[in-house]
């Protein structure tokens, strides 16, 4: 296990800090002694997103800055005097990217460029860039290693491919110390119903028939604490600049099997109705994702610790206790 004090005294910027994975990362960094600056997207409600769910003593330890990744001066100001930057800010919803591809590309590509420029200007010791397994598209071979072809099957995945290649280019062109972390379908407490596991759980808890999309899609689900462990190691291990690391369990499950497992946890027999509005366009649907995590195991000394049954139980009970945060049955794009 990596020391829990490696971030002691480090000045760390986390972009997209109000999001699901990033809020867990902020919490972990504070626990490890980092001085954390959280960059969140401005809104008139002064809403800090999921940072509001952190314990008060953690929130009080975080410097929160509101802005927009597309605003270069704002990003440069946030990056000043930072030692490490974790770039998690992005528009991530695939259905939303069908509706608003321009906004998604502007945020994910130009936002990434702005963070790369700011990181180079401020002279950080490490920039951890967040990719996604969606850049691989439907698996051409399994398990998927980091050399698998990249396929832009949605505007979102195309925007992330562009962002990944920009990060690569800044390492090659300017020797910027970039490390790319590529999570496979992270899930856990605080995740929104935009994702499939909270979608199923919230509908189960509401006692309604399940309205879902493609039941045969296969994914590699990784519990959020395991994903965070990969980020933490990616930010500190020396000599890994320029590399890309898959973070997945190396096991796969279909949406239909997820429903069965969540039904077991709930003690209910679940009825499913396929909702055409939730289906992706045929050529855009990613049918199978299964990670090869051997590089992360070897180089980062990383391995998943939470099995799917255990992670689903933890997620189910957290959502059960926080159901007021959700709108069961409403399709969230």
Q: Determine phi and psi for 193, rounding to 5 degrees.
A: -75, 5
Q: How many degrees, rounded to 5, is the angle at CA 40 between CA 112 and CA 249?
A: 65
39: three-class secondary structure by DSSP? strand
Structure-token pair, residue 47 = 């809403």
Alpha-helical regions (H) of the chain: 20-31, 56-60, 72-79, 94-99, 101-105, 111-122, 155-174, 196-205, 224-234, 255-266, 294-299, 308-321
Structure-token pair, residue 273 = 């109705």
Pairing verdict, β 253-254 and 218-219: antiparallel
Catalytic residue among 7, 156, 171, 187: 156
Pairing verdict, β 253-254 and 186-187: unpaired
Name 232's bridge partners: none
Residue written as token pair 């590699």: 220
Q: How far is CA 288 from CA 7, 10, 73, 198, in A?
A: 36, 39, 40, 20
235: three-class secondary structure by DSSP? coil
Active site residue 156: yes
Contact 115, 166 (CB under 8 A): no
Rounded-to-10 torsion of CA 27, 95, 145, 16: -20
106 closest CA partner among 128, 85, 90, 126: 90
Active site residues: 156
């Amino acid at each position: 296990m990596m020391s829990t004090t490696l971030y002691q005294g480090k000045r760390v910027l986390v972009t997209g800090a109000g999001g699901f994975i990033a809020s867990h990362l902020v919490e972990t960094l504070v626990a490890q002694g980092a001085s954390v600056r959280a960059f969140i997207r401005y809104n008139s409600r002064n809403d800090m997103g999921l940072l509001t769910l952190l314990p008060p003593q953690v929130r009080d330890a975080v410097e929160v800055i509101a802005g927009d990744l597309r605003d270069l001066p704002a990003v440069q100001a946030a990056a000043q005097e930072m030692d490490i930057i974790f770039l998690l800010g992005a528009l991530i919803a695939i259905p939303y990217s069908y509706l608003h591809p321009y906004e998604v590309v502007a945020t994910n590509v130009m936002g990434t460029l702005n963070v790369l420029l700011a990181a180079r200007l401020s002279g950080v010791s490490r920039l951890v860039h967040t990719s996604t397994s969606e850049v691989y598209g439907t698996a051409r071979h399994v398990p998927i290693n980091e050399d698998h072809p990249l396929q832009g099957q949605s505007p979102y995945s195309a925007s992330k491919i562009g962002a990944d290649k920009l990060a690569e280019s800044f390492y090659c062109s300017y020797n910027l110390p970039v490390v790319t972390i590529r999570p496979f379908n992270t899930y856990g407490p605080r995740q929104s119903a935009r994702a499939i596991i909270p979608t199923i759980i919230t509908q189960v808890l509401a006692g309604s028939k399940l309205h879902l999309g493609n039941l045969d899609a296969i994914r590699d689900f990784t519990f959020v604490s395991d994903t965070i462990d990969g980020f933490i190691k990616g930010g500190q291990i020396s000599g890994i600049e320029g590399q890309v690391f898959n973070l997945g369990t190396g096991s796969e499950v279909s949406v239909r099997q997820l429903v069965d497992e969540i039904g077991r946890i709930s003690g209910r027999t679940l009825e499913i109705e396929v909702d055409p509005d939730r289906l992706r366009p045929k050529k855009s649907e990613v049918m199978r994702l299964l990670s090869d995590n051997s590089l992360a195991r070897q180089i980062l000394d990383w391995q998943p610790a939470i099995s799917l049954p255990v992670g689903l139980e933890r997620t189910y009970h957290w959502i059960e206790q926080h159901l007021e945060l959700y709108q069961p049955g409403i399709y969230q794009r």
